[in-house]
Every structure is written in C-alpha cells, then in structure tokens.
Chains A and B, each alone.
Chain A
Amino acid sequence: MINKNKKKSLMPTFLLATTLISLLNINEVKAAPIASQTVTAVLGTISAVESYGGTTSTTIDDTGSLTSPLDPGFKIISNIGTTQALTLTATTTSTSGEVNAFSSSNGNVYIALSNITTPPTSEAITNAQSDSPQAALNPNVICYAVTPPTNIEGQLEYSWNSSGNYYDVNLSHQGDTITQLVVPAASAKPNTFNGNDESGSYQAIVILSYN
C-alpha cells in the first residue's frame, strides 16, 4: 500500500520535470545569438537624352551656302545593358504646322530649313524635298545635305529609314554616349535657294528620342 502511494507521488514530479524541460526547450528555440537583416535600395532604369553643345547657328551667304557647319550634339544616357532603340528625326515649320524636315533624294539625305518669320506652305517644302525641285515653287524653304551620322563601333549604329525619312538608332552602350548630326558648310540643294527666299531665320528642329 505504501509502495503504491510512493509510486503515485512520483508521477506528478516526473510530469512537472518534463513540463519544465519542455518550457526550457521552447526558450532555447527562440533565443539565437545571431540575427541578420538585408537592406535593399532599388535603382530604376535611366533612359535620357540631353542636348550636348555643337553649333546650332550660322549664316547663309549670297549663294545660299552655309558659312559654317551646323552640328547639334546629343548625349544619350542609359544604365541598361541591353540594346535600346532610338530615333533621330527633324521637323520644320510650314503654314500648316510642323512637317518632316528630313528627306532623301538622289542618294543624299537633306534637311529642310524654313523661314520662321514667313513660313512656307507644306507644298513648298514637299517641292523642295523632291528629286527635281522648282525654284519658283518652294519659296522660304532651303534644303541642305546632311553628313551621314557617324556610327560608334559597338555602341551606336545609325540606319536611314527611307519609308519614314528618319534615322533609326541602335544604342548598345551603357553609360553616356555622345553623338551629333552634321550639316556641313556647303551649298544648298539645287533649286531650293533663290530670290524667292525672303530674309530671315531659317530653322529646323532636330530631335533624338528613345522609342
């Protein structure tokens, strides 16, 4: 009888010990002498183009030639490692609004500059951009040949888009890339400069943009 009671009295002690051990084990699992945190700063993509100097103003002499080259520059900025597509376009002002200033004829690419004080009609610009301009039909617009933009090996490649009359540009360089369009100091496209062109500022806007 006494042994039976002793056995009974040991049971709760055993259970209590087991319980305490379990509780201690729970604490051990939670308590670690080391912890780590990862911090993250997210950088977005950069695709930007900035104007980058160059000569953007000159004069036209009596023969219609530019006295110095026009060579607007651009800085393309990218932090993307893959090839990016851009477009080099140009517009000029007509009485109907902005029209494409680039054209190609007889194997050359031309840019049309129109008189901003007395803008030409869009028909006059179209005539000046044709293969056979007629001086009397394109007053206040003068076309000049542009130098094909220079490719940069492994970084920048231009190709003329004859259906849209603009340059497709493939950028495969991460970082800053400098490029420019050059309109050399040369005579005007035949029959686009004559006495019908009034004095004033002849302008076009050259735009380089990501597609």
Chain B
Amino acid sequence: MKKYNIFLLVLIFYISISISKTFAAQTPITKLSATNGEIKSITTNGGQLSANIDTQDGKLSNSLTPGFLITTNSNTEKSLQLTATCNTQEGTVNAFFFPLFSLDYHYIALTNSNALPQSYCVDCVKKFNGALNSDNNPNVIAYRMTNLENIPNVMKVYYDNNYNRWDITLLKRGAIPLNLEIPAGEVPLTNTYSTCDEAGSYQATITLSFI
C-alpha cells in the first residue's frame, strides 16, 4: 500500500510538471473537476468486547462497550439503526428486547456459542419479562444495557419497542463516536442465569448501519 501511495505521489508530481510545461508552451485552459460525494461511513472503534461471567451470580467482570465511529460529510440529518443479534440452533434472532415491567431499561440476550440454545429459549426470556424459571432458558443470559442518550446538536436516539432496536438520527457532520454499554457488576435479568447455563462463550453481535 505504501509503495502504491509513493507511486501516486510521483505520478501527480510528474503530471504537475507536464501541465506547467504545456501551459508555458501554449497556455491552454484545462479545467480540473473533482466531485466530492456524500460520505456515509461506519467503522468499528474499539471498546471492551470481552468479559468473564461470575459463576456465583452471573455478573460481568467488566463492562462490554463495543464502539463505532460514524463519519459523514453532510449536515443533513441522517438516519441510522443500532441492532443486535444472537445465535440459536435455528439461526440468528434479535438480541435486544424491552421487558414489559421495565420502565427504563433495555436488555440484550447473549447466547452460548459453544452450546447454542433453541430459539424458544430466547423467546422465553423475552416474553416472560426475564423467565418464569431458570429451566426454560438454558444457555441464554440477559443483561441490562445502559440507555443511549441524546447528544444535543449531534444525535437523537430513540428505542423502537416494535422492532427492538435503537433508531438514531445524526444531526451534524464529522466523525462521531458511539458506544453501547453493558455494565459490569449487575445481576442478569431474573432467572436467566443459572446452572442450566453451560460453560462457554456467550455472545451477541451489535450492528450499526445507515438506512
């Protein structure tokens, strides 16, 4: 890649000299035009992506904070969506959910990638505001998320209960970081952690995208 860049610089330098020579000889008018298109870019931006689960109570050893960097060169409002999926035996399902009893908090379900649960186990966690008992959701553990907050003049956020996703409106251009947080030290949602959950890596994938 470096060699390629050096080659381009040399090429541009050569072109500049050639153009100058041409002007000197005949002074033709050459219009150079470059269109800068709209940039809508999202890249991953670090954050803490792994933690351990306390076998006693299911608490996370540290916060999980996947980060993203949103870049746009347009001041017009842009819409984005923050979604999450977790894997089951039947395929991926929505990992975000909003229990009926919860007035304030939203949750994310992590599933055991070493012993995938059936999708109904994730459904049990979502439907019953946690779980009626720990036996009906093996290999699924649900954690509270820190709510995303509006940032004045930068972005507005809204949790869509119908689709269980975050809708984000970007209000300015530039490079804007965004982190989701699953805080450490919080007990999992009621009856979602028990010895029915086998040892392994519990995962969810968070995706941020322009729409």
Residue ranges of A at the interface with B (Cβ–Cβ < 8 Å):
5, 8-9, 11-13, 15-16, 19-20, 22-24, 27, 30-46, 77-81, 174-176
Of A11, A15, A32, A175, the residue contacting B11 (CB under 8 A) is A15
- In the complex, the chain B residue whose C-beta lies closest to that of A16 is B15
Q: Do A175 and B40 touch (CB < 8 A)?
A: no
* Given pairs A9-B22, A46-B199, 8 additional interface contacts (CB within 8 A): A24-B37, A32-B43, A37-B68, A37-B205, A40-B51, A44-B53, A46-B55, A81-B115
Q: Do B41 and A32 touch (CB < 8 A)?
A: yes
A77 CA to B197 CA, complexed, in Å: 12
- In the complex, the chain A residue whose C-beta lies closest to that of B203 is A40
A80 CA to B114 CA, complexed, in Å: 12
Given A12-B19, A78-B195, answer yes or no on A39-B182 (Cβ-Cβ < 8 Å).
Answer: yes
Binds A, one of B25-33, B117-125, B159-167: B25-33
| B34 CB, nearest partner CB in chain A, Å | 6
| B73 CB, nearest partner CB in chain A, Å | 10
Q: Do B202 and A43 touch (CB < 8 A)?
A: yes
Q: Do B8 and A19 touch (CB < 8 A)?
A: yes
Residues of A within 8 A of B34 (CB): 20, 24
Q: Do A77 and B42 touch (CB < 8 A)?
A: no
- In the complex, the chain A residue whose C-beta lies closest to that of B85 is A36
Residues of A within 8 A of B8 (CB): 19, 22-23
Asked whether any CB of chain A lies closer than 8 Å to the CB of B194, the reply is yes
Residues of B within 8 A of A33 (CB): 40-42, 209-210
Residues of A within 8 A of B26 (CB): 5, 9
Sample of 10 A–B contacts (CB below 8 Å): A5-B25, A19-B15, A37-B68, A38-B205, A38-B206, A39-B204, A40-B113, A43-B197, A78-B195, A79-B199
Residues of A within 8 A of B52 (CB): 41-44
Residues of B within 8 A of A176 (CB): 195
